[in-house]
Structure 1
Amino acid sequence: MPQIDADRFLRDLNELRRIGAYKTGVHRPTYSSEDMESRRWLMERIAEIGLDPSIDGIGNVYGRHKGAGPHLLAGSHIETQNYAGWLDGALGVVAGLALARAGLPVDVVAFADEEGHFEGGFLGSRSILGLLPDDEIDRSRNRTDGIPLRDALATAGLAGKPRMQLEKGRHKGFLEMHIEQGTQLEQAGLRAGVVTGIVAIWQWRITIEGMQDHAGGTTMAERRDAGLAAVRLLAMIDQEFPKVCGERSTWTCGRIAVEPGAPSIIPGRADILFQFRDIDVAVLERMERCLRACVQESNRRERTTATLLNISKSLPAPCDPAMMAALDAAAEGLAPGLWQRMPSGAGHDAQYMARAMPVAMLFTPSIGGISHHWAEDTKEEDLALCCRILGDAAARFLAE
């Protein structure tokens, strides 16, 4: 079993959380000054371990192991959601450092913009696989302030840098350690979760066109209120989806924006961002058919017109059986009876890496299930234990 320096692992995590600190969490959005400072910090740690550090034109930080293989790739991302937690993403990158420090033949990576601050999301992991074309970079804007991605890259000092490509055949597999971002492990009194697969996320934009008009002078019978039509459509979807969804399906309306958004004006337009998730494509297809039927029924009932546009459809990513078996054995050896297999309800860079190599993920418990919030946390003893499990599993898999 590799000798994981748990104290140094925890110290690195706590050093990194100070960059962009916000309350007990972190605010480190992609390409911000705090994000770029954290990438420089990471390159220094990579060099200290003896790996070759580099950063590419999309912001991926890479630490290349200098010795012989077979090699593993380990990492995640280090930008955060706005005013969010200190472990989401950072945990996987710092765990990769810990594995390399223990002498394992591991390349360490921090992908850019897994959190999707820019349209398209997963910029780094898609770019390294050759799945991010230049014209998408040209079109992409920051979801919060509308800044073009090209401008953000220039401000961050990345313009003109080449984008690295994954070295084919170099890696036996990809490992990502992550917080659960849910309550299953904590509620069951368990300390680790071996991930069986990563859900697909299907994202949609629903646009509802009505008629902007005066809130006092227009009678209720005359109105074409896009705002109320949006609310009724979403209520219909929430009523119908349980009839077609799977056991672990989820659906979310992340944004409803009405125009012009004034208290005395009937909304003439509503813009909705909606998504659903599952690990089974057949379930996703049933949910899509239900969504389309709800939009059609809305158009029959309402005096407004709803239009449905698909934004993206990712693929579910099953984890590799041999890598899961290595994690199973490591977890049982270090935490007998205190672990389980479980799916991931969140998206991760691992789902893109699965297109190029075997992947596996290990979950630590999340206190209260909180994530994407500054109160996100995990017990340090669970973090240290799971890093040891990850190291043991990496050694087992490499020895096969």
Structure 2
Amino acid sequence: MRVDTDRFLADLQALRRFGEFRTGVHRPTFSPEDMEARHWFISRLREEGLEAEIDGIGNILGRSPKPGPHLLAGSHLESQNEAGWLDGALGCVAALHLAAAGLPVDVAVFSDEEGHYGSFIGSRSFTGLLEEAEIDRLANRYHGKPLREALREAGLEGRPRLAVERDRYKAFLEMHIEQGRQLEKGGLGIGVVTGIVAIWQWKMTIEGQQNHAGTTTMAERRDAGLAAVRLLAMIDEEFPRHCAERTVWTAGRIALTPGAPSIIPGRAEILFQYRDVDIEVLRRLEEVLRRCVAESNRRERCTATLEALSLSTPAVSDPALQDALADAAEALAPGRWQRMPSGAGHDAQYLARVMPAAMLFVPSINGISHHWTEDTKEEDLALGMRVLAEGARRILAG
């Protein structure tokens, strides 16, 4: 087995030309730039001797002609808007070069991991978790185009959707940039992912009384905006007492109604999420969140309600796969690697439902991702490719 890291880096550079934006890419799902990248990638799969096809949801599968057992590897090609050139693309090109190195690896490209039209629609389709009725309902979150229309414009309408052949694969592997600073701060080159966090998303609604901002005394007010601020401050004070080391939480949206400077807000809506890889931590924080809402209702003249929007399940990386990747990292980068959780979601979390799965991280410069300045040193990319290939070899031999 020989990995050509120069060719690997050249393919990464070639892929970044599709939808080039400053030093990153703008390659939204099913855009012309995205489809050009997909067709280029299919041609590269075929050049390496794989049987490649694209399905009715935009997924690409390149099947290895080599005898089994097989691995499945891959990621996604589309990007966030005006974002980075490595997020997703790295895992696709790395999978291609596992196959190019002579390993019995099928290469998968999953569509819309970035969520322009839905939540992981490509990997959920591949693993049997996406119904036709949901495809009928979905539309682009930025400009409202129905998913069916986008598929038709992309030339995908009427194609069957691929489904995973569970018996064909020993495991799924995905390489990705870290999208954080833990590896860089530690002077490390490789992260062996222990698991992918679950994201628990909530909506908090505070009902007050809309009224005149000049004539209503402070004692008379039922200000939903101030009640929302105080509730979030309470949560931010309580969560550190109950969270784990890598737990994070975010109030990503606070909307006040009617949102005018001279009107006391009569309603506030908060979209709130927290993430952790441990289900017990997630449940504990739910109890804390509910207590905070109850305490807000005791203190305030406004009424707060809590609604769960999405309570996902953490995806723990397969221990044997972790060990194989860790052994490969120690062999090729002794002392320059660590085990770590993923704070972001990835296609691997859905593949983990149908087969053993694991991920490998390489550093992100300054921890930047989802922005056009996203980058990783070439030596770190090449090291990641070598470690992934050696790990894949050990998994196949095991």
TM-score when normalising by structure 2: 0.95
Paired position in structure 2 for 1:139? 137
Q: Does 1:123 align with 2:102?
A: no
Aligned to 1:272: 270
Match of 1:227 in 2: 225
C-alpha contact 2:194 2:322 (8 A) present in aligned 1: yes
Q: Distance in 2 between matches of 1:268 and 1:137?
A: 36
Residue number in structure 1 paired with 2:158: 160
State the partner residue of 2:102.
103
The 5-angstrom pairing of residues 1-400 of structure 1 reads 2-119=1-118, 121-400=119-398
Q: 1:23 to 1:212 in 2, by over 3 A?
A: farther
In the TM superposition, residue 51 of structure 1 has moved relative to its aligned partner by: 1.2
Report the secondary structure of 1:195's partner residue.
Answer: strand
- 5+ residue gaps, structure 1, are none
Flag the 1:295–1:165 CA change in 2: closer, same or farther, 3 A. same
Provide the C-alpha distance between the structure 2 equivalents of 1:266 and 1:37, rounded to a whole number of angstroms: 51
Distance 2:244 2:367 in 1: 21
The answer to whether the 8 Å contact 2:256/2:269 transfers is yes
Q: For residue 34 of structure 1, report the CA deviation from its aligned partner.
A: 2.1
Letter in 2 for 1:14: Q
Once the 2 structures are TM-superposed, how far is the Cα of residue 319 of structure 1 from its aligned partner? 1.3
Cα offset, 1:398, TM superposition:
0.6
CA distance in 2, matches of 1:144, 1:211: 32
RMSD of aligned residue pairs (Cα, Å): 1.8
Partner of 1:262, secondary structure, is coil
* Aligned CA distance change for structure 1 residues 132 and 101 (closer, same or farther; 3 Å): same
Task: Give the C-alpha shift of residue 28 in structure 1.
Answer: 1.8
Q: Mean Cα displacement is larger for which, 379-388 or 49-58?
A: 49-58
Task: Tell me if structure 1 keeps the 8 A contact 2:46–2:52.
Answer: yes
Q: Following the alignment from structure 1 to structure 2, what is the Cα–Cα distance between the partners of residues 134 and 210?
A: 41
Q: Are the counterparts in 1 of residues 198 and 313 from structure 2 also a CA contact under 8 Å?
A: yes
What is the deviation of 1:10?
A: 0.8
Q: Deviations over 1:225-268 (max 9, x none)?
A: 33322222221111111111111111112222233333333333
**1:230 and 1:39, CA in 2 relative to 1: closer, same or farther beyond 3 A?**
farther
TM superposition shift of 1:109 = 0.9
Deviation at 1:92, TM superposition (A): 0.5
Superimposed CA distance per residue, residues 85-140 of structure 1 (whole angstroms, 9 cap, x where no aligned partner): 11111111110011111111111111112222234x11111111111122322333
Q: Which amino acid aligns with 2:303?
A: T
The more displaced of 241-250 and 315-324 is: 315-324
Change (3 A) 1:124 1:336: same
Q: What is the deviation of 1:270? A: 2.6
Range that drifts further, 91-100 or 40-49: 40-49
What letter matches 1:259 in structure 2?
Answer: T
Q: How far did residue 274 of structure 1 move?
A: 1.4
Change (3 A) 1:31 1:262: farther
Distance 1:321 1:383 in 2: 24
CA gap of 1:332–1:272, structure 2 versus 1, over 3 A, is same
Change (3 A) 1:260 1:158: farther
Give the aligned residue type for 1:326: A
Structure 2 distance, partners of 1:31, 1:265, is 43
Task: Give distance in 1, aligned partners of 2:290 and 2:87.
Answer: 34
SS in 1 for 2:167: coil
Distance 1:114 1:233, change over 3 A: same
What letter is aligned with 2:238? E
How many positions carry a matched residue from both structures? 398
Aligned to 1:374, what secondary structure does the other structure show? coil
Rate the CA distance shift 1:118–1:213 in 2: closer, same or farther, 3 A: farther
**In 2, Cα distance between the equivalents of 1:158 and 1:308?**
40
Separation of aligned partners in 2, 1:157 and 1:218? 59
Query: For the residues of structure 2 that align with 1:154 and 1:292, how far apart are their CA atoms?
Result: 45
Give the secondary structure class of the aligned counterpart of 1:169.
Answer: helix
AA of the residue aligned to 1:136: E
Shift of 1:150: 3.0
Structure 1 residue 147 displacement after superposition = 3.5
The CA deviation at 1:69 is 1.0
1:258-315 CA distance string (max 9 Å, x none): 3333333333333322111111111110001111121222223333332222122221
> What is the alpha-carbon distance in structure 1 between the residues aligned to residue 120 and residue 82 of structure 2?
19
Conservation of the 8 A alpha-carbon contact between 2:166 and 2:355: no
Identity of aligned residues (%): 68
* 2:77 alignment partner AA: I
- Output the CA distance in 2 between the equivalents of 1:314 and 1:342: 20
Task: Mark the CA change 1:288 to 1:75 in structure 2 (over 3 Å): closer, same or farther.
Answer: same
Q: For each residue in 1:174-211, what CA deviation from the matched residue of structure 2 results, as whole angstroms up to 9, or x when unmatched?
A: 01001111111111111111111111111122223333
